[in-house]
Structures are given as structure tokens and as C-alpha cells.
Structure 1
Amino acid sequence: MQDDDGLSGRRTPRRRSVRRRFATLYAGLFLASGTAMLAVVAFFAGGSIQAVPGPGSGAAVPGVSAAAAARIASLEHQLTQAQSRQTQQLLLGSAVGLVVMGLLSLLLGWYAAGRVLRPVRAMTAATRRISADNLHERLAVDGPHDELRDLGETIDELLGRLERSFAAQRRFVADASHELRTPLATMRAAVDVTLGKPGPLPEQTRVLAGRVRTELDQVDGLLDGLLTLARAQHELPSPEAVPLGELAADALAARELSAARALDAAPVAPVRGNRTLLRRLVENLVDNAVVHNEPDGWVRVTVRETSGVPASVEHVEHVELVVENSGPTLTHEQVEELTRPFRRAGPDRTGGSGAGLGLAIVAAVTEAHHGRLDLHAREDGGLRVVVTLPAAVGTEVQA
């Protein structure tokens, strides 16, 4: 059974905090230096303690009576014991103070690490906000000219190069759309004029013209797919509330499939996005399910809310589009290749009029709408494609 991420048996590695490591390192260094200092103090304090004979055990001193000598020895012994107790109390107090300061150093290290890493957190948050649609934004790290500011300026320079690269790619897409469609239209018109001339044409010429027209249609479809793929990867024009159920019904009707039999769509919230791109997404999924199917196979399209709540609930978060079909059994490796441009899986996916861009366009459109695409090979053959898209914010679901 697969989890929500479409993966099984894969665990997300535990995130290790740099701030925690800095605080632990700071406290560890403090405790190590404090322990070393306490050991030096104990060494010198212990060296000053000497055993003094107890009362009555001292040697006789000339000119001093035995009672006076015993009294002196007793006082020396008491003084030694007092010094020993003071040294022990000093070492005990130092050890307790070291433990307390160690805990305090941990808190101070946590605070200091947070202050030092604050610019890094700000750069991380700003970098996450920047995408292909707002590459003009910059981190603009202020403060002293240190290593962190150098890092921010380096990232800003990288964003500048990316912005110029994306702009050049958009210009190329626009130029290619004009420069390539014009000669294609000219060649198609020439073929039509040739076929429309009065009088009989040689059969070989007619066959050749028909073949050229077919190839021109395939090239035109390939060009349209490439332009759609590039447009979906770089921009999301004119977002609006789009009902996926209606798009699915239209796509099934265009393929002359009965929506009543193949479509399972309860009233759900619309998704927010570009209607043209989302229509292309749905059409590509339905076309893929119909073309790469088995004879007398079936196609099932489902539109539903991921939360599974009734349609009377006012607000939903995501809408799911599920397209399934029968067909040959696919391996996991083949399924992983399907979203790559010009890739097909299986012997029945190597021919035909398709350009191998259908699911690649679906993946690009899904990513442009901040959604998720999951492909699963069905156990009894065929493919199950799940597209999860965010619902339009603040949209009420009509029962």
C-alpha cells in the first residue's frame, strides 16, 4: 500500500538543526574548558594540603613543655582539617557552578546561534518565495559585509543569471511559434493547392501529397505540444475558477465516449488556474487513456474532492482528477519514464501519431498549478493517473 506521497518503504530523513548543533557545540566547549580549569584548581589546592600529625604525636621540642607541644600539634591538626573542608567546599561549589553555567551556556548558545543564523533563515524564506514567475526579486541582504552577506550577493547574482536565461527562453518560444508555423502553413497550402488542381493527378503524386500532409499535421501537433509544454513551464496566464468536471465531460464527448458511462463526477469545487492549459491537461489524459488501450477496453474518469467530505461543505482544499484505463501491464520503470518528453512505454507506445509529449505536458501543467501528478500501473493492466490540484480559494461548493 502506498502512502500519500506515492512512495512505499521510503522514510524522510530527520532534519538536523544547525542552530541546535551550534548551541550544543558552544555548551560542550564551555563545559570542557570549565572542567579543565576545575581540574587545575583541584590539583594545586590538593598539593597545599599536607597531613599533620594528630594531638600527642608530635616530637618533643627543646625548651617547650610536653603540654605546650601537644597543644600546638592539636591546633595544627584542626587548621589542616579546616583547610581541607574549605578546599572540598570550594571544589564542590565550583562543580555545582560549572553545571549551572553549563546549562546557562546551552541557553545562551541557543540564543546566540539564533541571532547568527537569522540572516540565513531570512535568505532561505526569500529563496523559497522566488520562482520562475518572480525571478526579478532579490534577497538584498543588508548588515555588515561578512560571509553571510557575500552568500546573499552570490545568490542574487545567480537569480539574475536565471532571470536572463528564462527571459531568453520565453523569447525563443515566442519566436519559434511565429517562425515555424509560417512555413508549415505555407507547405500545407501548397499541398492543398496541388491536390485541388483540376484534372487527374498521377496516383503516385496523390499518395505522396497525402503522406506529406499527414507528416505536416504531425509536425504541427508536435510544435503545438512543445509550445504548450514551454508555456506551462514558465507562466500561468489568466487564472480563473475552472470546473474540472465540465472539462472532463467535454473531452469524453470529443472522443465520442459516453460521459454518463465513463465519467464519475459529483459536484465539487472548481480549481483555480488557466482554462486553456487545464483543458489541454484533461484532453491529453483522456487521449492517452483511449489511444494506449486494448481492443474493447474501458476508460474511467473520476473528479472528486480529496478530503472525501460531502459536497454541501463550503470549503475544500484540493480536487482530484483520476483517469484509468485498461491495457497492457506496465512495470514501475516504464511508468517512471512516461512523463519524460518523447518517451513511451511498451511496444504499443512506440508508434502512432503521438509525439510522446502528452503526459509530459500534463506534468508541466500540473506543476504550473502547484499540483501533484501520480502515475500507477494497475495490477490487471492499464494505467491509473491521479492529478491533485488546489481548489479555488474561497469557492463555495454547490450541492
Structure 2
Amino acid sequence: MRKWRRRTVRLRFTVLYGAMFLLSAVGLLAITTLVGLGGTRVSRFAPPGSPPVEPATLAAATDRIAWLQAQLSDVHAAQSRRLLIGAALALGVMAVVSVVLGRVIAGRVLRPLRTITAATRRISADNLHERLAARGPADEVKALADTIDELLERLENSFAAQRRFVANASHELRTPLATMRACLDVALAKPEPIPPQTAALADRLRTELDQVDRLLEDFLMLARTQHGALADRTTLSLRDLATAAVDARAGDITVNQLTVHSAGAVDSAWTQGNRTLLTRMIDNVVDNAVTHNHEGGWIRLATTVDGTTAQLVVETGGRILDQEQVDRLTQPFQRLGADRIDSGNGSGLGLSIVAAVAAAHGGTLDLRARPEGGLRVAVSLPAAVPARVPA
């Protein structure tokens, strides 16, 4: 029902062309019927120049003529019925043929537009260098394709300028950060006694510089993931990457008395992609689970394979969250609040990087607020054939 409610251009063209063909058929059948019915009329008068009829045979001749006229009338009525039935059948056939022809002609007229639509859908931020390059006469369709090509060129230049700005700004900012860190180290390395306030201030500044350095690294990672080409693809196990990420945060997990366990059977969940990006993605998911947690809380990890999809699911407990706020966590610098173990860490780009890396590998990130409290993070990636382990 919904399909018929959509008044597409092809449907309108089909109705228009079908109605034109049908009206033409109706006019042709009407003219043919009128001509056929007019030609079957029988004259009731004797032709001029007929010889006179004798009175003796006049009565018999009149009866014979009346009988012949009755027969002719019956034949004329039968022919008229057959002609009308044939016209009705022909009209029905022409109605079907008109709709079919209208649809075929509408499809041929709209074929260039469908080609342009399909090509435009294939073009995304990762392949803005592609163009429609429509061929044919300089008509309205080619003008539309050329306009879309010009728009794609402007978008490509804009994305390239954005990538260059992010990369250059991040690299240029690292130089003064390194200089400031070196100045702090030199100041603290002097032989004279350093006041405790100065030492505390230096430690504080060094911590903030490290935070800014991590923020710049996140910017570079996000820019590379969103607009860069993936290279050095290899087959990796999501289970192994998740285990390595948990081992790397073992100290924080122990200090904050967090419990980490697997949910049911754990699959290797093989996928294919860039090792650096996938490692960073899973590190961010585990970091988010550790950071956004309560002291004495828990973390549940599961890796599964469902058909052609490999999935990593990380769940944490905690307070009941608002799903609308959770949906915004994939945007840069979005946080759930200060209910975290180490609220001083984190740039607000962690889950943004996770979503960008998953999308770059043809996967998705799904964030759900658990009804009983806490967060469920599910990363789905295309499954791959398991890598061969050397004997």
C-alpha cells in the first residue's frame, strides 16, 4: 500500500502515456465501429428500374421479401453484437498494452536519471574523487549530471582542506607542547631547592600538557579515520584485541576493584582491517568501560559471530541512563556527566573515534542504555576467514 502511495515520476509518466495510448485506441475503435454499423444497413425499398410484379404472385413475393428482411435483420443484429463484443475485447487488450507500453517508455525516458541517482549514492566522503561523467546530448539530464559533478568537486576540495587543516594544526601544536614540556623538565632539574608549590605546579602543568597531547593525537586519529584511506589490512581477532586492551588497563581495574568477566561462550570473532585503527577502537571501548564505571563495579565482554558479522559487546553497570543522551555520545566532546572514576582523563572523542573506525571498516557502533542501569556498547564489523596459525 505504501508503495502505491508514492507518486513517483515513473508512475505519473506511466499513467500519462497509458492514457494517451488508450484514448487513441478508443478513438480508432469508435471510428471502426461506426463505419461497420453503417455499412450493414439494408434498404427496404426496391431498386429503381425493377420490373413490375404480377398481381398473382404479389402476395407470395411480399411474404418472401418479409421473410428475407427478417433474416437480414437477424444477421445484422448478430453482426452488431459480434462487433461490439470484439470492440470491447480489443479495448481491454489495448488497455493492458497501453499500460505496458507506457511503463516501458517511461522507464526508457527516466533511465538516465536512475543512472545518475545510483552513481550519486555510491559516492561518499571516501570516494569524492569519482564523477558521474554523463555522456550524451547537451540536454537537461546532462546539465543535471554536470552540476552534480561540480558540486562533488567543491565537496572534495572542502574535505581535503579540512583534512589538511586538522593534520597541520595538530602537528604544529605539538612543537610548542614539546617546548613547554622541555622547559618544565629543565626548571625542575636545577640544583637549587625547588619550593613544593613550584614542584606541584610543574606536575600539574605536565599532566595538562599530556592531556593536550592525547587530545591532539585523538584529533589526528579521527581525521585519519573519517577521511583517510585504510591501508595495511590484516585479519585480526576481536577477542584477542579485547583481551589485550583489558590487560593494558589491569592496573586501573585492580585499583578500582572492577570485575571483568565474559558473557557465555566467547568466539574469536575474526575481522579484517587496519591493526592500528582496530586496536585503538577496542582500546577506547575498554577505556570507556573502565572510566565510566563505579568503584567496585563490573564489566562484561563478549565476542560473537553471526553469519557475516563479527561483534564485540561490552556492558557496564551503573545508574539508569537517558537513551537520548547516549545517542549523542558518538559526537565529539559529548559526555554523560561527572559520574566517572577518573573524571580528569578523557577528551570526549573516544566513542567518536570508535564510531569512525567502525564505519571506515564497513561496520557500525550501537550504544544502548541498559534498562537495569549502565551502558551496552556493541561494535559490529564484517566477519573474515580466520587467520592460519603457523604450526
Q: 1:337 to 1:269 in 2, by over 3 A?
A: closer
Q: Contact 1:242–1:273 (CA<8 Å) still a contact in 2?
A: yes
After TM superposition, list the pairs within 5 Å mapping 1:41-56 onto structure 2.
none
**Match for 2:171 among 169, 174, 178?**
178
Q: Alignment identity in percent? A: 54
Whole-angstrom distance in 2 between the partners of 1:101 and 1:151: 36
Give the aligned residue type for 2:206: R
Of 238, 244, 248, the residue aligned with 2:238 is: 244
Q: Deviations over 1:37-60 (max 9, x none)?
A: 65677789889999999xxxxxxx
Q: Separation in 2 of the partners of 1:68 and 1:261?
A: 118
Match for residue 48 of structure 2?
A: none
Q: Which whole-Å deviations, capped at 9, do the CAs of 1:336-385 have from their partners, x for residues lacking one?
A: 11111111124426953222111111111111111011111112211111
Out of 348-357 and 366-375, give the one that drifted further.
348-357
**Number of the residue aligned with 2:89:** 96
Report SS of the residue matched to 1:262: strand
TM (norm. structure 1) is: 0.79
CA distance in 2, matches of 1:347, 1:261: 23
Structure 2 residue aligned with 1:354: 346
Q: Distance in 1 between matches of 2:303 and 2:207?
A: 35
Please state how far the C-alpha of 1:288 moved relative to its aligned partner.
Answer: 0.6
User: 1:164 matched to which residue of 2?
Assistant: 157
Name the structure 1 match of 2:310.
Answer: 319
Partner Cα separation in structure 2 for residue 242 and residue 208 of structure 1: 44
Which of 142, 153, 167 lines up with 2:146 in the alignment? 153
- The answer on 1:372 being equivalent to 2:364 is yes
**Pick aligned residue for 1:120 from 110, 113, 117:** 113
2:321 to 327, 330, 334: 330
Partner of 1:311: none
Amino acid at match of 1:137: E
Tell me how far 1:152 sits from its aligned partner.
1.8
For 2:387 and 2:201, the matched residues in 1 are separated by 56
**2: CA distance, partners of 1:114 / 1:266:** 51
**Greater C-alpha radius of gyration:** 2
How far apart in 2 are the matches of 1:359 and 1:268? 23
- The TM-score normalised by the length of structure 2 is 0.81
Paired letter, 1:390:
P
2:326 matched to 1:298?
no
The letter of the residue matching 2:358 is T
User: Which runs of no fewer than 5 residues in structure 1 stay unpaired?
Assistant: 1-12, 54-62, 308-316
- Root-mean-square deviation (CA), in Å? 3.5
* Cα drift, residue 200 of structure 1: 2.1
Deviation at 1:168, TM superposition (A): 1.4
What residue ranges of structure 2 are gaps of 5+ in the alignment?
45-53
CA distance in 2, matches of 1:79, 1:89: 15
Distance 2:99 2:194 in 1: 92
Report the equivalent of 1:270.
270
Answer yes or no: is the 8 Å Cα contact 1:30–1:105 preserved in 2.
yes
Q: How many residues align?
A: 369
Corresponding residue of 2:355: 363
SS at match of 1:295: coil
**8 Å Cα contact 2:236-2:387 kept in structure 1:** no
Native 8 Å contact 1:293 1:328 kept in 2: no
Equivalent position of 2:191 in the other structure:
198
Contact kept, 8 Å, 1:52 with 1:80, in 2: the verdict is no
Equivalent position SS for 1:348: coil
2:41/2:76 contact within 8 Å kept: no
**Residues 135/323 of structure 1: CA separation in 2 closer, same or farther (3 Å cut):** same
Residues 1:305 and 1:37: Cα distance change in structure 2 (over 3 Å): same
Whole-angstrom CA distance in 1 between matches of 2:42 and 2:335: 92
Which residue pairs with 2:47 in the alignment? none
Judge conservation of contact 1:339–1:363 (CA < 8 Å) in 2: yes
